[in-house]
Amino acid sequence: MSKKEIRKLVKQVLSKSANLPLQSEFLVSSLLKRKEWQMAKVVAINGKTICVPKYYPTGEMVFVKLQTALEDLLIDKYGIRTEESNDKIDQFELMIVPGRAFTSCGKRCGRGGGYYDRFLEKNTCPKIALAFHQQIFDEIPTEEHDQKVNLVIFKEQ
């Protein structure tokens, strides 16, 4: 299955899934118990400096400090809520990495723009993904530029 087919399939399956709130509870609970979360002060996501991505037409992605209530954030051309501020953060102790699909060993399929792959390549902090079981695949095709995460937290069926 190609990355494009995986993205489409996961999007369809998640839009029809009724048990996402229960899975979300499990994922958040699991994350909060991890030592990486408890020790981190700056997280690219309770006592933490929260950072959100900001995308530029050049293909660059940076993270900026969240200073605005979530419901008041701007929605960018990708439909992603983003901070207007340019208070850029470069050093993280933990990154919570999104993706469309994952393998249990950390391979990741994003949305296809390569923003996170370029950013992850430059950062050495632990990278954790939270995934619904519908997002877990035995194998995902990868290319040389694709970046893995250190841990994928998901609840097995």
State the binding site for substrate. 31, 36
Return the number of other C-beta atoms located less than 10 Å from residue 149's C-beta.
23
14-18 — which CB contacts under 8 Å span 24+ positions? 14/132, 14/134, 14/135, 17/132, 17/134
Nearest in space to 119 (alpha carbons), one of 86, 101, 97: 97
Annotation: binding site: 31, 36, 108-116
Annotation: binding site for ATP: 108-116
